[in-house]
Amino acid sequence: MRRIGILTSGGDAPGMNAAIRAAIRTALKNDMEIYGIYDGYKGLVDGDIHPLDYRDASEILTRGGTVLGSSRLPEFEQDVMQDLAVNQLKRWGIEGLIVIGGDGSYRGAQALNRKGIKTVGIPGTIDNDINGTQRTIGFSTALNTICEAVNKLRDTSYSHHRCFIVEVMGHHCGQLALWSAITCGAEVLINQEIGYSEERVMAQLAIHDHFRNKRHALIITAENMIDIQALAKKVSEETNFSGRAISLGHIQRGGSPTPEDRMLGSKMGKEAVEVLMRGEGAKCICLIQDRIVVRDIDEALADTTRDDEELYDLFNDLV
Amino acid sequence: MRRIGILTSGGDAPGMNAAIRAAIRTALKNDMEIYGIYDGYKGLVDGDIHPLDYRDASEILTRGGTVLGSSRLPEFEQDVMQDLAVNQLKRWGIEGLIVIGGDGSYRGAQALNRKGIKTVGIPGTIDNDINGTQRTIGFSTALNTICEAVNKLRDTSYSHHRCFIVEVMGHHCGQLALWSAITCGAEVLINQEIGYSEERVMAQLAIHDHFRNKRHALIITAENMIDIQALAKKVSEETNFSGRAISLGHIQRGGSPTPEDRMLGSKMGKEAVEVLMRGEGAKCICLIQDRIVVRDIDEALADTTRDDEELYDLFNDLV
Amino acid sequence: MRRIGILTSGGDAPGMNAAIRAAIRTALKNDMEIYGIYDGYKGLVDGDIHPLDYRDASEILTRGGTVLGSSRLPEFEQDVMQDLAVNQLKRWGIEGLIVIGGDGSYRGAQALNRKGIKTVGIPGTIDNDINGTQRTIGFSTALNTICEAVNKLRDTSYSHHRCFIVEVMGHHCGQLALWSAITCGAEVLINQEIGYSEERVMAQLAIHDHFRNKRHALIITAENMIDIQALAKKVSEETNFSGRAISLGHIQRGGSPTPEDRMLGSKMGKEAVEVLMRGEGAKCICLIQDRIVVRDIDEALADTTRDDEELYDLFNDLV
Amino acid sequence: MRRIGILTSGGDAPGMNAAIRAAIRTALKNDMEIYGIYDGYKGLVDGDIHPLDYRDASEILTRGGTVLGSSRLPEFEQDVMQDLAVNQLKRWGIEGLIVIGGDGSYRGAQALNRKGIKTVGIPGTIDNDINGTQRTIGFSTALNTICEAVNKLRDTSYSHHRCFIVEVMGHHCGQLALWSAITCGAEVLINQEIGYSEERVMAQLAIHDHFRNKRHALIITAENMIDIQALAKKVSEETNFSGRAISLGHIQRGGSPTPEDRMLGSKMGKEAVEVLMRGEGAKCICLIQDRIVVRDIDEALADTTRDDEELYDLFNDLV
């Protein structure tokens, strides 16, 4: 393969630039040409395609977001759009494509693969919700941002005998909530896996209120689960804590990537180029037990095993 | 004066601990006794009062919140509550009282003063909305937190051609919005002083969209002004930007105080003790043209001059 | 086992408090008593031992350092000191001991084990230099601190066409240097594993200077390798860069632990208690392929395999 | 005046970009042309001069360093170099020049002014050591960086009963040391204004060691004052603290500017353009009592009044 392309799609995530940088430099080191496709599948269809050189990879490793831009294009499910994309790639002589994004982006990659373009996916999303890999690029940074924000809430919470209900991102996946509950020392966790029951939450809170005489408490909830304002009101009415709700919002998507995300992005970007160099396609790069593994996209997306039992036990033991 | 008390009241603000530390150490250096009153006027009425010594001032300078705790007690407007407070102070032999908080807290201090307790107020609130002083303790840190949060939004904004509408705190005062609009480089500012008009906002946005071809834009609005979700929707519909709204919320109240807030708190805490040492009361500590000034509370609260014209010009010139 | 002890020894590392917290809570949940031994083996010999309860684990998860204090006590190699320690433990009725620290601390734990005290080691050091585990508590936070410091240098480096030589910690191990070189995007790496040759460094620098026309460059070196001031002088004399040297020093040991270190410390602290609950001793807790593994201390310390070849390849490909 | 130039000179400082941005936008708003001169006086002599437009001011407000680059050029004291510079400016039709830097840079500006170029200086240096202004751009950010670094040291200091001797920048001026001693809560301060005496330092330390039983202590010293390693050794030998020395180095020059420096840079950049618009020269922009003031360079540089007595009193009272 002589010429490959790279795009980022869906929600951006810190560390995507590390993957882009690694792909550029690995391709150039191996005498391949690499083209940047801007604003995701939209730019692919529109032909917003530009050659990348060594310097395009400079000064981007430490920056959040994606220098290639991103977008959501639901219409890319349509055959006609995919054909436009294939035509663009052929026009530019691009034989292989690296797609950094979530599972929606992976489905686009599969469609292109079926139409003769070798594709390889890199899991880039803060939500850590992609089947087949234990970790996605951006998760570490988002977790770090949550921890820093909760640290700030802690000061004011302690001063006012408050219970903060903090809503974190995760789309329909409870990973960010679970990890942040453990690493921020939350008293209560609400997410998709353990569900929500008002009685449980109020009972858990009561332990910290009455028996442990705590000056503040922290409830972490995944988004798309509950009405956090209503719960805050309930807490104020039924406990000695003053309830306050905050949704951390889009700050969780930004920030300079942590070393972990820079490392993960670098490894995956390099590996993706090597997959294309070997002429393979319909693959995705995964992290399993701290090792980079190349899997078939179909197989990875079908792999719904996720063993978080140990983490739930840990949360329960340390609360 | 041999024995004084100190309390924090209303919303907490980073740098309050610097003022508490300075008050403790200045009092002890001058052979006065100083007592901490916990959880604001509530603790005063309840007699939650404890002597403070040198070590109570250790390790608190760098921490957000207030180690004395705070609360809101609207009932303190009532004469009967004030009498309870005076009785507590007399019981403990406390002749002078330092109150750190906002204008509500100042009114409580005035009431106590009328009943024979020498009081001195220190302006502690992130909102910078206290008459008579150009700066309040906590404003610098809140501004810093806003700038950091907006930095994170910028990454993701750039990647997605977005316009973020960021709602910042300030109660009914536009100071945090004004300062953060200038220091974050916002394209549009909405606050109490300049008001809101949809036409203006959309027209200003259009300049950056059409003529300057910007990849992202930032609108900063004070709280209690607009429905930010509705504006985000409008932006998405009527411009090329994808509108997103975020309310930064209580993270603005927390965090380790900036050097500026540590310095301001230290100066004001020291000055407040010296006012009581001189046997004065019904005073408040102000910052005017970067100088610590002692004013009568009544006079200060009545001083509604605030000359921000230069800052609005600056914002308009740099946008 | 009814009563256990816990101490931290050697250099402190962020995340040690997470392990202490997890050990306290896990022990209490399982109806064991747990005693804190202050200032490491010194406090053990001196009998500076105090019971820990639920609240001793509160508010410590997010703090750097170790709330138990630490010290270095080379004399603990002597039999007589170890006997004093055993007597103290027996006097307090402590049957098992958790030791958080580096390999020196592990050797103390082995000695105590030979004298009848069940011991379990937790790897706590920023250097990531303990045999038998792929990761130590504190490494992630130190790496993060290095990345943040280098980010600050980058601004000023770019402005002045500079080459910074940054010396990072690691004791006699090149792990921090290797990881930070990759995640900070260094142009040149010097550490114990790849050694130092002036010709190599100047040749690598020349590529970035002449061919790539870079405005700045970054050399990362492990401590105990070279005279960084001398290299800076050389760089200034023989390249177009202005050389500057900085040793990051002890800031690398501090800071609020990253989520990764909080998680690792939490898992290891819990596991260590469970090892003692099972009546086992002479064990240490390791992380291998992202999994918590319990190993014999002897076996772990003898395991010198460390496969970083992939990381060196990655660094070379991305430079 | 139709066309002006701008350059940054000497050590870079965070907030210089805010001044550059403000100058660009203010000039363009007033229908003036503005040219960037790269790498300071060196670029001026070499003719490294480029027009700046609206977009050159985008995305730079939040970045440390200077996008115009900087350099030191001692030879610019020579008449022949100054003539080369004047010729370049005339060739480009540049009638007025904004120089951002320290007092060395100001002297260059004065020389050019004497040769017919209208010049205006903006004080840009982290050292806060320019006569005639109470604050320089970059000081707030450097102070903030120092506070963050000391926070990290505090964790490890507390764990090990340590006394850290922290050397901060400041060139030959004690401002950064004084302000950071107050805002970091140092026990001992050493700087140019109060000098160094070993007896004083050891006596002050002894108070905290013996009487206050502190677990750690902090000495802040300005650079160019003492051998910090020697003092650390002394502390270890003669007190109960374990002495450690750290020189914070160039990280103090970097980092995203604080809101205060962004604001100060913005105000000064705007004012500088307005000075040139009025056809004035040989001026510099100062901050006095929180107000922007335009002064003659000669007069400002001769103004050696600096009243820090209040701050030294504050430090002494709070220690």
Domains identified in chain D and CATH numbers: 3-138+257-302 (3.40.50.450), 141-254 (3.40.50.460)
Q: What is the mean pLDDT of residues C158-178?
A: 95
CA distance B27 to chain D (A): 10
Q: Which two tokens stand for residue A178?
A: 């679970």
| Cα–chain center distance at B306 | 16
The ipTM, to two decimals, is: 0.96
- Beta sheet of D283-288, edge-to-edge order: D49-52, D33-37, D3-8, D96-101, D118-123, D283-288, D291-296
CB D118 within 8 A of CB D279: yes
Dist CA A319 CA C58 (whole Å): 10
Catalytic site includes residue D127: yes
* B204-209 LR contacts (CB < 8 Å, sep 24+): B204/B319, B205/B163, B205/B235, B205/B239, B205/B241, B206/B239, B209/B239, B209/B240, B209/B241
Provide the 3-class DSSP secondary structure of residue A254: coil
Q: Can you give the pLDDT at residue D302?
A: 95
The three-class DSSP label of residue A165 is strand
DSSP state letters, chain D: --EEEEEE-SS--TTHHHHHHHHHHHHHHTT-EEEEETTHHHHHHHT-EEEE-GGGGTT-TT-SS-TT-----GGGGSHHHHHHHHHHHHHTT--EEEEEE-HHHHHHHHHHHHTT-EEEEEEB-TT---TT-S--BTHHHHHHHHHHHHHHHHHHHHHHTEEEEEEE--TT--HHHHHHHHHHT-SEEEBTTTB--HHHHHHHHHIIIIIS--S-EEEEEETTS--HHHHHHHHHHHSSSEEEEEE-GGGGG-SSPPHHHHHHHHHHHHHHHHHHHTT--SEEEEEETTEEEEEEHHHHHH------HHHHHHHHHH-
pLDDT of residue D211: 67
Q: Which amino acid is at B210?
A: H
Classify A66 as helix, strand or coil. Answer: coil
Query: Which pLDDT does position D35 carry in this prediction?
Result: 98
Nearest to B160 among A12, A63, A159 (CB): A12
The closest CB to that of D291, out of B147, B256, B289, belongs to B289
| Residue C59 sits at the chain D interface (C-beta within 8 Å) | no
CB contact under 8 A, B314 and D134: no
Instruction: For residue C286, name the pLDDT band (cuts at 50, 70, 90).
Output: very high
> What's the pLDDT at B306?
80
Residue B191, beta-bridge partner list: B195
Residue window 172-201, chain C: list those with CB within 8 Å of chain A. 179-180, 182-185
pLDDT digits 0-9 by tens, B173-191: 999 999 999 999 999 999 9
Chain B residue numbers with beta carbons less than 8 Å from the beta carbon of A66 are: 159
Look at residue B211 and tell me whether its pLDDT is greater than 70.
no
Chains with 3 or more CB pairs under 8 A to chain A: B, C
Q: How many CB atoms lie within 10 A of CB C237?
A: 8
By the 8 A CB rule, do C117 and C89 touch? yes
Say which of D56, D127, D129, D209 is annotated catalytic.
Answer: D127
Query: Within chain D, which residues score under 50 in pLDDT?
Result: none
Task: Report CA-CA distances (Å) from C105 to B283, C82, C96, C287.
Answer: 58, 13, 15, 18
The whole-angstrom distance between A262's CA and the closest CA on chain C is 6
* Pairwise CB contact (< 8 Å): D62 & B184: yes
d(CA A264, CA C183): 10
C287: its two tokens: 């992380």
Per the residue annotation, which of A12, A39, A127, A261 is the catalytic one?
Answer: A127
CB contact at 8 A, D274 and D26: yes
**In this structure, which amino acid lies at residue A115?**
K
Q: In C, which residues are within 8 Å of D254 by CB distance?
A: 151-156
> Residue B39's pLDDT is what?
96
Phi, psi of D121, rounded to the nearest 5 degrees: -100, 145
Q: How many other CB atoms are there within 10 angstroms of residue D200's CB atom?
A: 13
The radius of gyration computed from the CA coordinates of chain C, to the nearest angstrom, equals: 22
Taking only residues 253 to 312 of chain D, the set having a beta carbon closer than 8 angstroms to any beta carbon of chain B reads: 256, 258-260, 262-263, 266-267, 270, 289-291
Give B164 to chain D, closest Cα distance, Å: 15
B292-308 burial, b for 16+ CB within 10 Å, e for fewer? Answer: bebbebeebbeeeeeee
Contact partners, residue B27, CB within 8 Å, separation at least 6: B4, B33, B34, B273
Contact C27, C35 (CB under 8 A): no
List the structure tokens of B69: 């705790």
pLDDT confidence of residue C305: 84
Q: Average pLDDT over chain A, rounded to whole? A: 95
Classify residue C260 as exposed, middle or buried by CB count within 10 Å of its CB (0-12, 13-18, 19+). buried
CB contact under 8 A, C263 and A179: yes
Residues contacting A86, CB < 8 A, separation 6+: A112, A115, A116, A117
Instruction: With cut-offs at 50, 70 and 90, classify the pLDDT of residue B158.
Output: confident
Question: Tokens 């009193």 label which residue?
Answer: D313
**Residue matched to tokens 């900036």:** B258
Query: Measured on CA atoms in the order D7, D12, D15, D17, is the torsion positive or negative?
Result: positive
User: pLDDT tier at B1 (50, 70, 90 boundaries)?
Assistant: confident
D166 phi/psi in degrees, rounded to 5: -110, 120
Q: Is D164 on the interface with C (CB under 8 A)?
A: yes
Nearest by CB to residue A159, choosing from B66, B152, B160, is B66
Question: How confident is the model over B9-26, as pLDDT tens digits?
Answer: 999 999 999 999 999 999
Distance (Å) from the alpha carbon of B236 to chain A's nearest alpha carbon: 14
β-bridge partners, C296? C283
Segments in chain A below pLDDT 70: 211
Q: With contact defined as beta carbons under 8 Å apart, do A219 and A163 qualify?
A: yes
Give start and end residues of each alpha helix (H) in chain A. 16-29, 40-46, 79-91, 103-114, 139-160, 175-184, 198-206, 228-238, 259-277, 297-302, 309-318
The residue type found at A175 is: Q
Task: Answer yes or no: do D152 and C254 touch at CB < 8 A.
Answer: yes
The average pLDDT across C15-41 equals: 98
Out of C12, C39, C56, C127, the active site residue is C127
The whole-angstrom separation of Cα B12 and Cα A215 is 15
Residues D173 and D223: beta-carbon distance below 8 Å = no
Q: What is the pLDDT of residue C115?
A: 97
Across the beta sheet with B188-190, the strand order is B188-190, B217-222, B162-168, B242-247
Q: Which residue in the block uniquely carries the two structure tokens 């009568």?
A: B296
CB-nearest to A212 from C21, C54, C266 is C54
Residue numbers in B near A127 (CB within 8 A): none
What distance lies between CA B132 and its chain's CA centroid?
14
Write the single-letter amino acid at D213.
Answer: N
CA gap A178, A174 in Å, rounded? 6
Q: CA-to-CA distance for C43 and C70, rounded, in angstroms? A: 9
CB contact under 8 A, B155 and A63: yes
Residues of chain D numbered 95-124 and touching chain B (CB < 8 Å): none
Residue C170, annotated ligand binder?
yes
| 3 state DSSP class of C52 | coil
What integer pLDDT is reported at residue D1 of this predicted model? 87
Cα dihedral sign, A20-D54-B155-A69: negative
Provide the shortest C-alpha distance from residue B84 to chain D (in Å): 33
Closest C-alpha among B159, B214, B154 to residue A38:
B159
Angstrom CA distances, A110 to A41, A137, B18, B296, stand at 13, 20, 59, 74
Closest chain C residue to A312, measured at CA = C267
Q: Which pair of tokens denotes residue C291?
A: 């999994």
Q: Which residues of B touch D128 (CB under 8 A)?
A: none
* Pairwise CA distance, residues A293 & A285, whole Å: 6
Neighbour count for residue B173 (Cβ, 10 Å)? 21
pLDDT exceeds 80 at position C207: yes
Any idea which residue has 């917290």 for tokens?
C21
| C-alpha of B129 from chain center | 7
Distance from C-alpha of C201 to C-alpha of C191, rounded to nearest angstrom: 12
Question: Using N-to-C axis directions, what is the helix angle for D259-277 and B309-318, rounded to 10°?
Answer: 80
Assign B100 to helix, strand or coil. Answer: strand
Q: Does C54 touch chain D (CB under 8 A)?
A: no
